[in-house]
Amino acid sequence: MALRRLRGPLLRPICRARRAFSSLKPWEALSESQRAAWESLGRGESWHRTPQKTLPSWGQLQAHQQAAAKHGLGLHEESWEKLRAQIQAEAAAPSPSVSSGASLARDGAGAGAARTGAAGLAGVAWSVCKTLAPIVGDALDGAKHPGLRLLGGAFRYMADVNDTLAAPVTVDDVETILYLDDSGSMRGSVQGVFGKSGLHLGQDALDQVVPLLQGPTRILKFGTLPKVLLPREELSGPQETAATATLLHSVVAAQWNGTSGGTYMWKMIEEDVRSRYLPGHGRLRLIVITDGEDTHSPGAYCGIKGMDALMKELQKQGFDVEWHIIILGRFQAAERKRYETLAGATGGSFLALEEAEAFQSTAAQRFLAALKEKPGARQARQQAYLADTAAGRMERVEWFKALPPPGKGLQREDACEPCVEQGNLKSAELWMPTPPLLKHRSCANDYELFVFSSSPDLEKVCNSVVSSRSNIIHGPLASKNPGL
């Protein structure tokens, strides 16, 4: 149904591509994402009706404006400059009469269309719709002209082809991949959530996650087979994400429809990572949104414990991986705990969306905060996992690999004298990033604390340092543990 609604408005710019480059499409005929794109470009409804100012050159556009042009309007540098020149020419030329306009339309429908032919149409469509290619491909499937249907088939797989042909990337910084479960079960009602499907909850999650995606990012959906929705692209910084997030969400959401069959996950992720990346000094940040467990991977990769085979192989290849996982609906306790273990052991984060308003919860806010880069926070999350394993609340996985201690961006401080005098902090190191969140109970100094302590009595350490020991992160002293 969603594709049928998209088909008309998406098809018209293709079939009338000559008009799109000679005059602006009426504001009323623009989709919501197209309007958002024009507004982010500083060309809203009033300008659209009477364009008195010309468009800036591509090089004059800011990063988020280029993203708006690409994702919202399907324009890249060449097609943008072509549109800019056409508008300048129209502004200098006298307006055509109604009769001449009608004649031009008849010519476009007759001999002009014949002269243009399939090759001309394909050329224009290619420049306009690279980024929106999969959606355009679905729209062209319904065209009557066989050439357009053939073109639609090519467009549908353009993102996959571009992604496959790109050279593997060495992971020297943070590389993000978002994996969206597109299995058929996503269309069904979520257990425990009245009136919402997995896709509905997933879209809610997407609304929250997309604005936080920064740096090089790829987006895939997976079912029986994976499909690339967004080839690797450098996403904007926080100050430029509003327009980019809206447009990116529109493109991804339109293709995330629960039509990809079963759930082929762990082996798919391994193959995707190994084919597209080379291990380096950085890390892979893998974000998964799913409503179930792997059902289609072979052998040890199948089922909830398939994550173990995947992690062993990725570590063997030399990759540093950080997992952020969102599960949709209610899971068996063992399954839920395994996903939580995968995230915690790698210094990532976990969220179970079990109700429609779940993103208002404290757990959801912690999850979203974990997606924002902050020095030392990943180590703190892994230390929390270690504390949970020591207390028997979490499983210690055999592939666990401790992270190095916090480095750049943190200051190493000695414990303050009043606390040392209590005798409980003589062997503790305090890593304190800003802003401060906690206070020393004894001296009331402000600190945000990541405590790596060799004290055999961690309870005493926690009680002597902060008023709320549930917020303290404790574990082996970094300097005495080569793995940290």
106: its two tokens: 């008849």
Q: Let me know whether 57 and 180 are in one domain.
A: no
pLDDT tens, 313-361?
999 999 999 999 999 988 899 999 999 999 999 999 999 988 766 777 8
- At 321 the pLDDT is 97
Count of the separate structural domains present in the chain:
3
Residue at 375: amino acid letter? P
- Residue 339 three-state SS: helix
Q: Computed from CA positions of residues 224, 305, 267, 258, in that sequence, does the dihedral angle turn out positive or negative? A: positive
DSSP 355: S
Q: Let me know whether 204 and 325 are in one domain.
A: yes
Strands (E), 329-386: 349-353
Structural domain includes residue 467: yes
Q: How far, CA to CA in Å, does 157 sit from each of 209, 232, 250, 450?
A: 25, 15, 18, 47
Q: Let me know whether 269 and 337 are in one domain.
A: yes
Q: Let me know whether 189 and 317 are in one domain.
A: yes
Structural domain includes residue 400: no
- pTM greater than 0.85: no
Structural domain includes residue 62: yes
350, 372, 394 — which closes off a domain?
Answer: 372
Q: Computed from CA positions of residues 34, 38, 39, 40, in that sequence, does the dihedral angle turn out positive or negative? A: positive
Radius of gyration of the chain (CA): 27
Kindly tell me the burial class for residue 355, based on how many C-beta atoms sit within 10 Å of its own C-beta (0-12, 13-18, 19 or more): middle
Q: Let me know whether 210 and 312 are in one domain.
A: yes
Helices (H) and strands (E) in the chain, counts: 20, 13
Domain boundaries, position 475: 412-480
CA–CA distance, 388 with 401 (Å, rounded to integer): 16
- At 465 the pLDDT is 41
- At 235 the pLDDT is 77
Structural domain includes residue 161: no
Structural domain includes residue 428: yes
Q: Let me know whether 228 and 282 are in one domain.
A: yes
- At 23 the pLDDT is 54
Query: Percent of the chain beyond pLDDT 90?
Result: 27
Structural domain includes residue 401: no
CA–CA distance, 400 with 403 (Å, rounded to integer): 10
Q: Let me know whether 446 and 322 are in one domain.
A: no
Q: Let me know whether 192 and 114 are in one domain.
A: no
Q: What are 231-237's contacts with CB under 8 Å, separation 24+? A: 231/159, 231/162, 231/163, 231/166, 232/163, 232/166, 232/169, 232/175, 232/276, 235/67, 236/63, 236/64, 236/67
CATH number at residue 302: 3.40.50.410
DSSP 466: B
Residues of the chain with pLDDT under 70: 1-23, 32-33, 40, 51-52, 62-64, 67-68, 71, 92-162, 164, 191-195, 236-251, 356-357, 375, 406-484
Q: Let me know whether 118 and 178 are in one domain.
A: no
Structural domain includes residue 383: no
Dihedral (Cα; 466, 467, 473, 479), 10-degree rounding: 10
Q: Let me know whether 267 and 189 are in one domain.
A: yes
Mean pLDDT of the chain: 70
Beta bridge partners of 429: 452
21: Cβ contacts below 8 Å, ≥ 6 apart: 79, 82, 83, 86, 124
CA–CA distance, 66 with 69 (Å, rounded to integer): 5
Q: Let me know whether 434 and 354 are in one domain.
A: no
- At 308 the pLDDT is 97
CA–CA distance, 21 with 198 (Å, rounded to integer): 40
Number of other residues whose CB lies within 10 A of the CB of residue 103: 12
Q: Cα 31–36–37 angle (5° rounding)?
A: 95
Structural domain includes residue 385: no
102, 128, 154 — which closes off a domain?
Answer: 128
Q: Let me know whether 368 and 475 are in one domain.
A: no
